[in-house]
Structure 1
Amino acid sequence: MTGRVAALLPRAEDYRGLRRSWPRDLAAGVTVAVVALPLALGFAVATGVGAQVGLVTAVVAGAGAALLGGSRVQVSGPTGAMTVVLVPLVAAHGPDVVYPVAVLAGVLVVLAALLRLGRLLAYVPWPLVEGFTLGIAVVIAAQQVPSALGVDRPEVENAAGAAVVAAGRFLRDPDWAVLGLLALAVAATALLPRLHRAVPAALIAVTVVTVVAELTGAGVAVIGALPDGLPAPALPDLGDLPALLGPAAAVAFLAALESLLSARVADGMTDGPRHDADRELFGQGVANVASGLFGGMPATGAIARTAVNVRAGASTRVAALAHALVLAAVVLVAAPLVERIPLVALAGVLLVTAYRMVERHTVRAVLRSTRGDAVVFTLTAGATIALDLIAAVALGLVVAAVWALVQVAGTARAVPEPVGADGVDDDEERALLARSVLVYRLDGPVFFAAAAHFLAALTASPGVAVVVLRLSGVDHLDATGARTLGEVVAELEERGVTVLVKGASAEHARLLTAVGALAAVAARGHVFADLPAALAHAREHVGQSGRGCAQAAPVSPAVPR
């Protein structure tokens, strides 16, 4: 265990090349901070915990993940996906619930790192990831509608339903000044990057809307008072621990999943070493514990901010650390200015952010792939919008697993093969062998999902005296498949058909013996190592059967494939 923990800790090689790259790293950190500021404020306000919590999270969790994470360029902080999970939790328990949940979720993520669970991301299907990304984008956009329209947030748990109620309230008593500021925020955020990719569109949009609101005296809701420093660390109230474990597990799952996805995206954008999944989990876990202790909300690796960091030239984790330090300076120096930012400005920025989360060509690619992948994508997206993110991921995983089993089971085949008659000169004997002996080669996996297929195929052989089962092509066998083969043997022998088994691997033979599938066959000496020996025994058996077998009705070897 000591060695495992040591492997997760920072090391000198994390900063290899810093002597050459530090100017670029610092510049990238400032760039990311400019992008992250409105997002940290917006996601915290959308969650219902106040803008200051977003700033604390960006500073504390951002610094912690930068120092301890497994990616050189990952940037962490409040994200839209986490907002989707936290909004109903805050509505049910109040804003203070985010502190203990962050600590508990962080502990769970650290445990996942110690158990080396980072590799499990490879088992999350791509259509599922794209489906909940689409669902998250829709939910984030829906969450912004009340602030975007300047109406009170409805007491409706579902974000899409709350957006509809808010839109109805606005239509009954429209505030055109708020709508104008919203249009300005959206236009600036969406159009400024077209001038140059490096333009901090979100910050400019928030600044312009704030200035316009101040000059025109528009009576719009603003962020309000902020503390002029970071709070001292304190252990949050864990008195309701049993009730918080479920939400904390959901937050931990999302923090791990989104952080590892973001790190994987960053790997594809850089030429340096790939991220260490378990170290990334460890860093994110510690960052969440620290965030909760300092009065922050749960955080994850942020794909958009990480991408900005890479494009700005970041080479080491100093860039992400510099981003956190710049935001800390904002808390200490610019809090009075941040207090005057209208909520509608943040809503406009987040609406554009939600729109950009969805890559239209990716959605089209998933929907055009396979029917099962399209179903997983659609169900996950719909469940994210209608239910919640964790239920959506669980549903998507179940559907994806069932579809995968169906596809794998479809590769299982019972293939009929001609019976060799080398050395048999008599035409009548040749015909007798062809009618009376049937050889099946079993290919692919023989497991619970394919068992019924084999049972139907192998017992559809009337009029045959001997069936030879070739098992050398079986690449996977489970207990259900072994049991089913035993049932096949028993049913055939009840009909008077002799069953010969050939080519079972040592592993498969042990399993077949353990479930009793080969007991009767082995007792008669009907298990063979090679096909010629099995066919020789089959000929001998047919010859001993006399003309009874010769009178058997011809058998068509057509077998479902």
Structure 2
Amino acid sequence: MSAPIGHLRSAALSLLPSPDDYREARRSWRTDLLAGITVGIVALPLALAFGVSSGAGAESGLVTAIIAGIVAAVFGGSNVQVSGPTGAMVVVLAPIIAAHGAGALALVCLMAGLIVLAAGALRLGRTVSYIPWPVIEGFTLGIAVIIFLQQVPTATGAGAPESTNAAVAAAQSLMAASWPEVGSSLLLVAIVVGVMLVSMRVHPRFPGSLLAIAIAAMVAALFGLPVETIGALPAGLPAPSLPAFDPATVSALVGPAFAVAALAAIESLLSARVAATMADTGPYDADRELVGQGLASIAAGLFGGMPATGAIARTAVGVRAGARTRVAAITHGLLLLVVVLVGSAVVSRIPLAALAGVLMVTACRMIAPRTVRTILRASRADAVVFCLTAVVTVSVDLIYAVLIGLLVAGFFALRQLARTSGVHREELPGAAQPGDERIAVLRLEGALFFGAAERTLERVSRLQEVEVVVLRMSQLQLLDATGAQVISELIASLERRGITVLIKGIRPDQHGIAERVGVISSLRHQNHLFEDLESAAAHARSHVSRARRDRAR
């Protein structure tokens, strides 16, 4: 009993923070602090914009960046991951808030956080590796398009649209736009886009979004433009509180909570995996990352924030700025806390149109033309999966897009795998002997599974004028229950026709399923199972020779 308990204890401890997380901080704390400040400056406008765009408000975005950013940094499985509100999460949250109201946000946070936390405790972190690259990139492209379309109502000053679909809402806002509101809003959007584009050309690491928002806010104030601003923000963090657990509301939010949890897990693990390849900052623990992100969402929900995920853009900024340990992500959260405590009055004057411009540029930067071209040219299957995932993401739902992308990618993968399977007739070993033409040596190779089994059965069933069939199975790389059942049926069919079946070389890892499904019991005799081809050929020749003698009598 002590061994299992000890194993469980070590497994649980591996999911918790330890002093080893900060071993490198003694040497890198200066660069970590500078990297954290840099990320905080970049994260400020994004946190505000994502909060507004989701419908939860700028305060919710800031709270999420602070609380979730610090909690995920301490408890997560990556040394450099920066967490907070992200565009993908906004895309999921916006229709939830529109349907259930902002009051349901805290409950969704807690429910989704618990789901992600449970996934980490159950060691489900590595499942993200099963998501194909075209699905991930199609998902990212779709999110970028939705984020851009979601900013159109704010950019035109048209107010809240009727539809929750981003494309429909964008069209409705364009038709409802009126002057001078649309002119003032578009002017600020243009200023933000122009400043950000110029700053990227001058210096990629320069916080152009912050400068762009500052200029746009000054222009709006100087000329008295009739544009909507963020509005009053509290000069501090709200007190933590539990949401009301109404059974009817909880039941209605189960589906949305699972969607939010799935997105949080997928995006966080993908971001952590990419971050681990960007610099030598140590590996990441996928299961611990889920635990950290789950706790981050729970904590954010208690303070009135949004569900959090790992943010690859902010993480990349931190790594490029020299981040090596969790100190950088923690510093980023503390810097944003200082902004809330001493700068809320300034932040409240920021025009919403300026934040829309920041997110429009951010959405465009999420799309990598080179990656799109590579996938479209890779293969027809990859191109179909990529395009289908992107279209479903924009037109239907993010989670459905991932599921459909996985199903279609799985279909193409199975079809390709089925094409690797084959049945090939071979010559008997040694010198030719009379009667060899009555013996068929068939080599099964590749994968014999449900997608290829019937084709194999049809090909072998067409054999004519044969008395003995030797099935070579040593080259069979994959055998599932359907494939084993087909072999069993094949043996029974040949035996009914008076054809003796011998099996050569069942692989050790396939022997169990072959025995359980009935492949071996389908043979006429147990001694019709051979380890090498020479023995099988000798037995087949002796069988044909006996049959010839019997016919001669």
For 1:9-54, what per-residue CA distance to the aligned partner results, in whole angstroms no more than 9, with x for missing partners?
1111211232332222111111111111110010110101111111
Deviates more, 1:360-369 or 1:267-276: 267-276
Partner of 1:301: 310
How many Å apart are 1:386 and its aligned residue? Answer: 0.5
Say which of 526, 534, 537 aligns to 1:535.
537
Partner of 2:486: 484
Say which of 352, 364, 376 aligns to 1:343.
352
Cα distance in 1 between the residues matched to 2:193 and 2:223: 19
Q: Is the aligned partner of 1:250 residue 2:259?
A: yes
How many Å apart are 1:232 and its aligned residue? Answer: 0.7
Secondary structure of the residue aligned to 1:337 is helix
How many Å apart are 1:508 and its aligned residue? Answer: 3.0
Q: Is the aligned partner of 1:160 residue 2:163?
A: no
For 1:468-487, what per-residue CA distance to the aligned partner results, in whole angstroms no more than 9, with x for missing partners?
11111122212111110111
Partner of 2:498: 496
Are the structure 2 counterparts of residues 18 and 173 from structure 1 closer, same or farther at C-alpha, using a change threshold of 3 Å? closer
Unaligned runs of 5+ in 2: 1-7
How many Å apart are 1:522 and its aligned residue? Answer: 4.2
Are the structure 2 counterparts of residues 331 and 520 from structure 1 closer, same or farther at C-alpha, using a change threshold of 3 Å? closer
Partner of 1:553: none
Partner of 1:69: 76
| 8 Å contact from structure 1 (residues 15, 317) kept in 2 | yes
Partner of 1:463: 465
1:500-539 pair list within 5 angstroms? 500-523=502-525, 525-539=527-541
Say which of 304, 323, 333 aligns to 1:324.
333
Are the structure 2 counterparts of residues 469 and 340 from structure 1 closer, same or farther at C-alpha, using a change threshold of 3 Å? same
| 8 Å contact from structure 1 (residues 128, 377) kept in 2 | yes
Cα distance in 2 between the residues matched to 1:38 and 1:152: 21
| 8 Å contact from structure 2 (residues 181, 226) kept in 1 | no
Cα distance in 1 between the residues matched to 2:522 and 2:334: 75
Partner of 1:433: 436
| 8 Å contact from structure 1 (residues 542, 549) kept in 2 | no
Instruction: Give the letter for the 1:314 counterpart.
Output: A
How many Å apart are 1:549 and its aligned residue? Answer: 9.1
Instruction: Give the letter for the 2:472 counterpart.
Output: R
Instruction: Give the letter for the 1:44 counterpart.
Output: G
Cα distance in 2 between the residues matched to 1:113 and 1:524: 48
Partner of 1:228: 235
Q: Is the aligned partner of 1:217 residue 2:224?
A: yes
Are the structure 2 counterparts of residues 510 and 256 from structure 1 closer, same or farther at C-alpha, using a change threshold of 3 Å? closer
How many Å apart are 1:292 and its aligned residue? Answer: 0.3
Secondary structure of the residue aligned to 1:334 is helix
| 8 Å contact from structure 2 (residues 158, 182) kept in 1 | no
How many Å apart are 1:81 and its aligned residue? Answer: 0.4
Secondary structure of the residue aligned to 2:502 is strand
Cα distance in 2 between the residues matched to 1:326 and 1:514: 63
Q: CA RMSD in A?
A: 1.8
Deviates more, 1:413-422 or 1:104-113: 413-422
Say which of 407, 416, 424 aligns to 2:425.
416
Secondary structure of the residue aligned to 2:456 is helix
How many Å apart are 1:173 and its aligned residue? Answer: 7.9
Partner of 2:380: 371
Q: Is the aligned partner of 1:194 residue 2:201?
A: yes
Secondary structure of the residue aligned to 1:467 is strand
| 8 Å contact from structure 1 (residues 4, 114) kept in 2 | no
* TM-score of the aligned structures, taking structure 2 as reference length: 0.95
1:38-437 pair list within 5 angstroms? 38-170=45-177, 175-239=182-246, 240-420=249-429, 422=431, 424=433, 429=434, 432-434=435-437, 436-437=438-439
Are the structure 2 counterparts of residues 549 and 452 from structure 1 closer, same or farther at C-alpha, using a change threshold of 3 Å? farther
Cα distance in 1 between the residues matched to 2:50 and 2:508: 58
Secondary structure of the residue aligned to 2:232 is coil
* TM-score of the aligned structures, taking structure 1 as reference length: 0.93
| 8 Å contact from structure 2 (residues 443, 471) kept in 1 | yes
Instruction: Give the letter for the 1:469 counterpart.
Output: L
How many Å apart are 1:514 and its aligned residue? Answer: 2.2
How many Å apart are 1:456 and its aligned residue? Answer: 1.4
Cα distance in 2 between the residues matched to 1:173 and 1:437: 89
Cα distance in 2 between the residues matched to 1:549 and 1:470: 28
Are the structure 2 counterparts of residues 171 and 498 from structure 1 closer, same or farther at C-alpha, using a change threshold of 3 Å? farther
For 1:217-252, what per-residue CA distance to the aligned partner results, in whole angstroms no more than 9, with x for missing partners?
110111111111101111112212222222111111
Partner of 1:555: none
Are the structure 2 counterparts of residues 182 and 533 from structure 1 closer, same or farther at C-alpha, using a change threshold of 3 Å? same
How many Å apart are 1:156 and its aligned residue? Answer: 0.5
Secondary structure of the residue aligned to 1:262 is helix
Say which of 467, 475, 478 aligns to 2:477.
475
How many Å apart are 1:124 and its aligned residue? Answer: 1.1
Cα distance in 1 between the residues matched to 2:480 and 2:323: 50
Instruction: Give the letter for the 2:309 counterpart.
Output: T
Cα distance in 2 between the residues matched to 1:329 and 1:368: 48
Secondary structure of the residue aligned to 1:439 is strand
Unaligned runs of 5+ in 1: 551-561
Secondary structure of the residue aligned to 2:443 is strand
Partner of 1:453: 455
Cα distance in 1 between the residues matched to 2:549 and 2:168: 78
Are the structure 2 counterparts of residues 520 and 278 from structure 1 closer, same or farther at C-alpha, using a change threshold of 3 Å? closer
How many Å apart are 1:529 and its aligned residue? Answer: 2.6
- Identity within the alignment, %: 52
